[in-house]
Amino acid sequence: MTEVKWDKDNLKKAYLKVESRLNKTLKSTELEKNGLPHVSKFNQKYGSWNKFLKEIGKDVELRKYTRKTNPKRFCYPQEHQKMLNIIHNEKHKIWYELLVHTGMRINEARNVQIKDIDFDRGTILVKSPKRSLGRSGKERTLEMSTYLKNRILSYIKTTNLGKNDSFGFPSTQYFDRVLKDYAKQAEIKDHYNFSAHNCRKTLETWCAAALNVNPLPLSYFMGHTIDVAAMHYVGLSLLKQEDKVMIKAILDDLFNKK
């Protein structure tokens, strides 16, 4: 079967056909189960899901996004606990925890299937790392803490995920939006600085500052070079001893398994 090459025109036609059959406007989360591409395809071609709805004549309000003023922002452990207390949607919570506890890029996490997780060895296979500077990406294996392993096992049992299932990560734009909303609810003053990238930044800072992880294994874990890693080691002096104690408790036995 020839793979469909989605452009703006056939995305619109396919959507309108399904909408006519169901006699309702679909939510972005309902696309795939009705035979349509993932919302990320609409975001790619139209800029956002709401812009697509606007294109087909729906009365929607286009969100205005605040530009991040501090791209090096990481989450303090106290803020992390506030986020966990605020996020009651279990799918959103597992997305957030996976990114914070593994440091994966959201595009990497989106491709992880249950079969890529070795619960006996406590590892996750990352199959699609970022490709940059003309280099082809390589697979890498991430270590999981016992906390994260048990958290994933519990989520799989609750949601009945199969080995070929993924965690259903949404578009980056959608995830960033809900993360900002949760940060705002948690009364984090610069909530507009929070995004998927900040989850990655958080783990990197925590590992360097609280776990004292050597730059070489840490750069491999994060999937970038030592030079790039050095550029990210800012804010380490901002963490107090009490922060480091909390961080060690949150990350459990990551990089410290007996």
State pLDDT tens for residues 206-226: 988 888 877 667 776 777 655
Give 3-state DSSP helix, strand, coil % of the chain, rounded to 5: 55, 5, 40
Overall fold of domain 77-251: hpI Integrase; Chain A (1.10.443)
Question: What pLDDT shows up at residue 224?
Answer: 63
Return the pLDDT at 129: 52
**238 pLDDT band (50/70/90 cuts)?**
confident
Run of H or E residues at 142: strand 140-143
**Cβ distance 80 to 239 under 8 Å?**
no
pLDDT in tens, 129-138: 544 434 445 7
pLDDT tens track for 51-101: 888 888 888 776 555 555 566 789 999 999 999 999 999 999 999 999 999
Residues contacting residue 4 through CB under 8 Å, at least 6 positions apart:
10
What is the rounded distance in angstroms from the CA atom of residue 243 to the CA atom of residue 61? 40
Could you give the CA distance from residue 131 to residue 43 in angstroms, rounded to a whole number?
21
Helix (H) or strand (E) holding 246: helix 241-251
Q: Where are the domains of the chain?
A: 8-55, 77-251
Instruction: Give the integer Cα–Cα distance in Å for 176 and 195.
Output: 5
How does DSSP classify residue 30? G
Half-sphere exposure of 188 (CA within 13 A, CB side): 26
Q: Euclidean distance between the first and final Cα of the chain, in Å? A: 50
Q: Which tokens belong to 49?
A: 């899901």
Question: How would you write 178-225 as a 3-class SS string?
Answer: HHHHHHHHCCCCCHHHCCHHHHHHHHHHHHHHCCCCCHHHHHHHHCCC
| C-beta separation of 83 from 194 below 8 A | no
Query: Looking at the predicted structure, is the pLDDT value of residue 231 above 90?
Result: no
